[in-house]
Amino acid sequence: MSSVLDIFLAIFTIIMPLFGGAITVIMFYYRDVMEKEPRRLVVNIFIWGLLTGLIIIAFTIPMFILANRAIKFLTEDWQIILVMLAFALVQVLAEEGLKGVVLWRKCFRVIKEVDGLFDGFFYGAIIGTGAGVVDAVAYSILATDWLSGLEIAIIRTIRIPGTHALFTGILGMYFAWHRYRNKKMYPGMIYAVLLHTIWNITTYIISFYLVGILFYATNFALLGLYLIIMFILSTSLIKYDRKNFPRGTEILQEN
């Protein structure tokens, strides 16, 4: 009976993030009220997000394994500092940088359908969602048992639209702004890295100092704040595009 339960939990743990990622993609797809993107293209970009997530996991997991071994030889204060640096600098910069490179090469150098700021945000969010799915699956599998893995999968699946999608969505917005209004791109990376760093450090502090209901309440309160930011930002982008790009691609070609 136990083996059957383990198999069920394993399958559910792996499938749930994929289901959550699909729901997130659909949500953003129907959020675009101006012009629906080609579905095949959306699926293609989502797959590139998954591949990006695999690359990210390939270097972040070994990095944290090495960090965990290294901190055993340090004092408690230095252990916290090392983990903070790993979370805030190495992992965040590498992750957002890689997602930014894939987003730029796949969406802004070859895709003509990006004809507004919301489209940039949309494709960035899709890349981020794909990477978030792999993140959720990987850390769930690495849990001590499938029951704890299921808990991790649930939490990380709920986080996907509010974190990974938001961070890379902001990158995509600034990429589109640069392409069509000649705005600088680096603020998008700064905001993405800053929000990601705040999330990681806060999550680490919450995990270290809070337990039980306080852990979940604080965690999801921060998630709610990020979701509000994403809703306000996406709504503002739609209004901006309606005003500045009312005819989509034709207007962009004229500019």
- CB atoms under 10 Å from CB of 51, counted, come to 15
What are 160-184's pLDDT values in tens digits? 777 888 999 999 999 988 888 788 8
* Residue-number span of the structural domain to which 249 is assigned: 2-254
pTM of the model: 0.84
Each residue's pLDDT tens digit, 47-80: 999 999 999 888 877 777 776 676 666 666 666 6
Mean local confidence (pLDDT), 32-43: 83
Q: How many domains does the chain have?
A: 1
Tell me the DSSP string of 35-67.
-PPPHHHHHHHHHHHHHHHHHHHHHHHHHHHHH
Band (38; pLDDT cuts 50, 70, 90): confident
Alpha carbon separation from 142 to 14, 136, 146, 195 (Å, rounded): 12, 10, 9, 26
The residue-averaged pLDDT of 215-230 equals: 80
